[in-house]
Each structure stands twice: as C-alpha cells, then as structure tokens.
Amino acid sequence: MNYFDQLRRSVLETIKAGRVGQPVFVRFLVASDANRETQTPLLARLVQTAGEWLGAPPRRLYATVSPLPAGASVSVRFENGATALVSTATPGHAGPTIDVIVLGNHGAVYHDGFAVAAESAATVVDGHEDPALRAAIEATMRSMKPHVLPGKEAP
C-alpha cells in the first residue's frame, strides 16, 4: 500500500469511527510532478477520495487552471451539501507533498503534508478514476463555468 492509500484509509477510518462527527469540508492539495497529461486524472482521483470521506457523490464542480503546468483547483459541492477544494501544485522544497484538512462538525483531521515528503503523482493516479468525473472536470476547465453532474436533487 502506498503513501496516498495509507493516508486515504487512515482518514476514512477516523471518520468512520465517528471521531470528528460528520465530515463537511475537505481541503486537498497535492504538490507533485503532475503535468498536463496527469493533472485531470489526479484531480479526479482527489475529488473521488474527498467524496469517499464526505460520504456523497459530487454534484457541482468549478475548476480553474493556470496557463502553467500543475496549477489547477477544483471547487466541489457534494450531494449532501459538503464541499471540497482540491488543488494541484508544483512540488514543495522538500519534494512532493500531499496536504489534507478534513473538517467535521465535531472535530477535524489534519495531515501536515509540508512536514513530510510524499510520492509522485503517479502513485495517486491508479487508473480507477471515474470517467464521468474526469469528463466533468475537463468540461468545467474548458468552459470556465460551473458544471453540474446528474444527481438526486438540484444542487
């Protein structure tokens, strides 16, 4: 199991144990060697993981992408009203970094990515990214407008 998977599982177990109440917000930043080709799958993987932690599928996305590589952000509203900010960035001075804040209504989980060096983006992207999510991220990046995914209720 790689570093990202360990982090993903550890946060999930903390949430499932009820230690922070109901999770409502995720701040996810991966500072890595992602490039134009790997950026969208990476963002999709991070949004999927945030959704797993928050317990709901994404409903509304809005992405910004810089003209330079590795500078994209996605704002996500999930079906249950939870939100996330997911960003990619150039590597930190200590190497690649995965930084996480998960806010729950009774507590919070912090993973201080800037205190440790992580792995390259390749170990985050595992080929299991939801194609519809990838397409939605690409759509909002292209249109530079919010994109709504199909779901149960109006976002």
Binding residues for another protein, per CB under 8 A? 21-22, 24-25, 27, 29, 31, 60, 62, 64-68, 70-71, 73, 75, 77, 80-81, 83, 85, 87, 89-93, 97, 99, 101, 103-108, 110, 114, 144-146, 153, 155
Nearest to 34 by CA among 89, 116, 97: 89
Distance (Å, rounded) from C-alpha 114 to C-alpha 154? Answer: 37
At closest approach, how far in Å is the CB of 93 from another protein? Answer: 6
For another protein, the closer CB: 1 or 17? 17
For another protein, the closer CB: 81 or 126? 81
At closest approach, how far in Å is the CB of 44 from another protein? Answer: 17
Distance (Å, rounded) from C-alpha 69 to C-alpha 127? Answer: 21
Cα Rg of the chain, angstroms: 15
At closest approach, how far in Å is the CB of 139 from another protein? Answer: 14
**Could you say which DSSP state residue 122 is in?**
G
Say which residues have a Cβ less than 8 Å from residue 53's Cβ, sequence separation at least 6. 11, 12, 15, 23, 26, 102
At closest approach, how far in Å is the CB of 128 from another protein? Answer: 26
Quick one: which H or E segment has residue 62? Answer: strand 58-65
For another protein, the closer CB: 38 or 87? 87
For another protein, the closer CB: 21 or 126? 21
